[in-house]
Structure 1
């Protein structure tokens, strides 16, 4: 069960709903991985559409790991996201919104 009050969102992968959540540890790892200057810069990269496919993969990996899946970026990159790349990007957008605003 998805709990939006914990910053959780759902993502469809291969027709199955999976949980994503950005824990503080995953946010710190994501900041370092993407070499951004803080959480605001991280959010702005995605809000302005200035992200690359590798950024999206890193964000989805962090969210899935925070949701309890033990995955690496190569595994996430090979996944069949419901809605394709657009579906993955929309889920990532919901994840960021839930993490920084407490809503889905």
Structure 2
């Protein structure tokens, strides 16, 4: 069950309910995956809105693992989008807004 105070978002994929959470470990994973030098670099990348499907898989994978599920990016990529891509993008955006805030030009929205 998601804890909104902790910055969780919830998403159903492949008939399974997942909690998405950006832990410090998940953020470090994303820094490495996106070759970001800092959290500010990472936030700017996400705020640009120019994300590929591969980027969404990385974000979703890190969030799912941060939420406690043990799935690889390959397993995440294979999950059916039962609620559609818009639901995935919305859940990722909520997760990013919790981690990076909603101020100014740093508001991420995939």
Smaller-chain TM-score bracket = 0.7 to 0.9
Structure 1, unaligned runs of 5 or more: none
For 2:26, the equivalent position in structure 1 comes to 26
**Match for residue 108 of structure 2?**
none
2:26–2:65: 8 Å Cα contact kept in structure 1?
Answer: yes
**1:64 equivalent in structure 2:** 64
TM-score by length of 1: 0.87
For the aligned residue pairs, the C-alpha RMSD in angstroms reads: 1.7
1:76 matched to 2:101? The reply is no
Structure 1 distance, partners of 2:12, 2:49, is 22
Q: CA deviation at 1:82?
A: 3.5
Instruction: After TM superposition, give the deviation of residue 2 of structure 1 in Å.
Output: 1.5
State the number of aligned residues. 102
TM-score between both structures, scaled by the size of structure 2: 0.82
| Other-structure match for 2:36 | 36
Matches for 1:41-52 after TM superposition, within 5 Å = 41-52=41-52
Higher RCO by CA contacts (8 Å cutoff, separation 6 or greater):
1
Contact 1:82 1:88 in 2 (8 A): no
Gaps of 5+ in 2: 103-110
Deviation at 1:85, TM superposition (A): 2.1
Q: CA deviation at 1:32?
A: 0.5
Structure 2 CA distance for aligned equivalents of residues 37 and 89 of structure 1: 24
